[in-house]
């Protein structure tokens, strides 16, 4: 078994399996890849795995059938679903089956590494919310236009990406917090005019009465703040639909030395 854990990747897209093997293998995980659902079930029946990463649409049987069978063979196996064609029905079924995460393709290397780390560090978490509605002007969909914005840096629920030369967008991954609790509000520090890397810039308050600081990923001058963040949060959580998870909080201009 690998140093960090053994992962079975099930997808008939060769690019996806190679990407997972490269991304997660480089992090020290032992990666096994298959492209058929029945082959995955056979593997699960003969080898012990810590995590199954599975597509839904497969050439023989669908990924959710594989999840059901895997639960019988290895009840403690964690599962992450990846799909290029998400539906609310599949998301709800994933939740019912105790799937850890439901991820839309394409995903960034940083995001997949973070998902794997959460599985192994926070074993037992279950996805508590299926989809969150994409609030058009304030939520960045996971299906990004990579030719326009090819990079997202992601760490512990906070993300940052360049949106044009000299301007970066910083936000919160709502899904990250919904894995463990419900978000009541997101508060951006009052009077904040600059970001300082490594310093808090906002906080998340949960239904449990807990507060969690969001740490600035980079230094820069604030050019715009999403003052409607909590209205947006309430709106798309209540809708419980859509494909947007990445809520933007601020747009900043880093100093020349940062880019």
**Shared domain check, 145 and 215:** yes
Give mean pLDDT, residues 215-231. Answer: 87
User: 109 and 206, same structural domain?
Assistant: no
Q: Are residues 117 and 146 in the same domain?
A: no
Which pLDDT belongs to residue 140?
43
Better pLDDT: 257 or 136 = 257
In a domain, 248, yes or no: yes
Q: For the chain, what is the mean pLDDT?
A: 76
Q: In whole angstroms, give the CA distance from residue 79 to residue 239.
A: 26
Encode pLDDT of 91-121 as tens digits: 778 878 888 888 877 777 877 887 787 777 5
Compute the average pLDDT of residues 190-204: 87
Q: Within the chain, what is the greatest distance between any pair of CA atoms? A: 58
Instruction: Assess contact for 23 and 112: CB atoms under 8 A.
Output: yes
Are both 161 and 115 inside the same structural domain?
Answer: no
> Are 211 and 246 within one domain?
yes
Q: What's the pLDDT at 106?
A: 75
Residue linked to tokens 């599975």: 54
Pick the more confident residue, 178 or 59.
Answer: 59
* Closest by CA position to 241, among listed 148, 100, 139: 139
User: 18 versus 218: which is more confidently predicted?
Assistant: 18
- Express each pLDDT in 37-58 by its tens digit: 999 999 999 998 989 999 999 9
Is residue 160 one of the residues assigned to a domain?
yes
Q: Is residue 34 scored above 90 in pLDDT?
A: yes
CB 54 within 8 A of CB 12: no
Higher pLDDT, 62 or 76: 62
Out of 152-156, 169-173, 217-221, 231-235, least confident range: 152-156
Is 14 within the bounds of a domain? yes
The answer for residues whose C-beta is within 8 angstroms of residue 216's C-beta and 6 or more apart is 170, 195, 196, 197, 198, 199, 200, 201
84 in Cβ contact with 56 (< 8 Å): no
80 and 191 housed in the same domain: no
pLDDT class of 71 with cuts at 50, 70, 90: confident
The CATH number given to whatever domain includes residue 225 is 2.40.50.100
**pLDDT at 128 > cutoff 60:** no
68 pLDDT more than 80: yes
Residue 129 lies in a domain: no
Task: Report the pLDDT value the prediction gives residue 67, as an integer from 0 to 100.
Answer: 93
Domain count for the chain: 2
In a domain, 156, yes or no: yes
Domain carrying residue 245: 139-258
Averaged over 116-135, what is the pLDDT?
A: 44
Residue 1 domain flag: no
Q: For residues 46 and 102, state if they share a domain.
A: yes
Which segment of 59-63, 158-162, 226-230 scores lowest on mean pLDDT?
A: 158-162
Kindly provide the residue ranges of all beta strands, DSSP E only, lying in the chain, ordered along the sequence: 6-10, 30-34, 51-55, 78-83, 101-104, 139-141, 153-155, 158-164, 167-173, 183-188, 194-195, 200-206, 211-215, 220-225, 244-253
Of 86, 121, 156, the one marking the end of a domain is 121
User: 90 and 185: one domain?
Assistant: no
pLDDT at 129: 28
Residue 191 lies in a domain: yes
Residue 28: which CATH number? 3.40.50.2300
133-165 pLDDT, tens digit per residue, is 332 233 344 334 433 444 566 666 787 777 777
């Amino acid at each position: 078994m690998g140093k960090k854990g053994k992962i079975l990747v099930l997808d008939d897209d060769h690019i996806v399996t190679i990407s997972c093997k490269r991304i997660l293998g480089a992090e020290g995980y032992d990666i096994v890849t298959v492209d058929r659902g029945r082959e995955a079930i056979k593997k699960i029946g003969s080898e012990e795995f810590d995590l199954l990463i599975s597509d839904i649409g497969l050439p023989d049987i669908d990924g959710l059938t594989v999840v059901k069978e895997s639960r019988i063979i290895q009840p403690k196996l964690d599962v992450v679903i990846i799909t290029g064609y998400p539906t609310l029905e599949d998301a709800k079924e994933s939740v019912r089956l105790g799937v850890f995460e439901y991820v839309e393709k394409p995903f960034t290397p940083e995001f997949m590494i973070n998902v794997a780390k959460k599985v192994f560090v926070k074993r037992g978490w279950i996805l508590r919310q299926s989809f969150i509605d994409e609030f058009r002007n304030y939520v960045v969909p996971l299906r990004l236009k990579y030719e326009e914005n090819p990079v997202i840096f992601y760490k512990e629920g906070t993300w940052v990406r360049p949106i044009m030369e000299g301007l970066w967008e910083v936000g919160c991954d709502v899904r990250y917090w919904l894995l463990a609790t419900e978000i009541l509000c997101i508060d951006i520090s009052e009077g904040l005019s600059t970001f300082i890397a490594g310093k808090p810039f906002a906080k998340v308050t949960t239904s449990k009465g807990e507060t969690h600081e969001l740490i600035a990923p980079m230094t820069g001058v604030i050019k715009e703040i999403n003052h409607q963040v909590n209205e947006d949060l309430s709106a798309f959580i209540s809708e419980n639909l859509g494909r947007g998870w990445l809520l933007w909080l601020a747009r900043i201009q880093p100093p020349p030395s940062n880019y």
